[in-house]
Amino acid sequence: MKITTWNVNGVRSVLTKGVLQDYLQESMPDIMCLQEVKALITDVDYPFSDFGYHVYWNSAVKKGYSGTAILTKIKPLSVFYGIDKEEHDQEGRVITLEFDTYYLVTVYTPNAKRDLTRLVYRQQWEDDFLNYINALNKKKPIVFCGDLNVAHREIDLANPKTNIGNAGFTKEEREKFDCVLKANYVDSFRAFYPGKTGAYTWWSYMNQARKRNIGWRIDYFIVAKEFMSHVKDVVIREDVLGSDHCPVELWLD
């Protein structure tokens, strides 16, 4: 079984380019989690059901901003949008699907912004999101995935020294990631590839960063420790173009 996460940076853009359709046909994920869809479901004229998918969509109140979606061939037992906190649930950042043996959560974590004006809000978001997944994890194991907007360790970005203190690599954001791991969750990619360098999921559009592989690993599958025995591999698909992020695939038994 394969679950994919991908920040598409505009779902209509990747559909117009044909890259999302190509990926679905080539990779055939059982579940596809999308972030930054930037659209209402009514704005997307594409028959995902032709691929056998049920579609769940969480749009931001602000049109053309943020938003998440999940396409799944396996019908969930239940679906929940947001984290039940009004101050966080205006931007369409979270969808939760309940399956027989686990919960799957897709998340698009708020960016602290270049000038860090949203860092304080981001800290509160992190605390509230961790409380949310911890409550679910008491019922069934959690798998959560998406663009977490943080490179956890120096190995997770090409130029760590020059990015210390920048959005996505501040001490505060990295410490919040530590809190997640200390709460008995696992960065699944690093569990399989602890020393792998040059493994990135996002590249700036500037200065040919992707061609030069000057990137950041900010898209993750975080898995409850007790569920890790079901994880067989995590694959970063840097070959898939169409967004400034690439897909990441989680293989389960």
Which two tokens mark 245?
């992020």
Q: What is the Cα–Cα distance from 244 to 248, expressed in whole angstroms?
A: 13
Per-residue pLDDT at 51: 87
Ordered structural domains, the chain, with CATH: 2-252 (3.60.10.10)
Per-residue pLDDT tens digits for 94-145: 999 999 999 999 999 999 999 999 999 999 999 999 999 999 999 999 999 9
Flag whether pLDDT at 74 surpasses 90: yes
Mean pLDDT confidence for 186-207: 98
Mean pLDDT confidence for 176-203: 98
According to DSSP, the residues that pair with 203 across neighbouring strands are 215
Phi, psi dihedrals of residue 231, rounded to the nearest 5°: -90, 125
Query: Which pairing describes strands 185-187 and 219-224: parallel, antiparallel, or unpaired?
Result: antiparallel
Alpha carbon 132 to its chain's center: 16
Per-residue pLDDT tens digits for 31-70: 999 999 999 999 998 999 988 999 999 999 999 999 999 9
Instruction: Label residue 168 by pLDDT band (50, 70, 90).
Output: very high
- Known catalytic residues are 108, 147
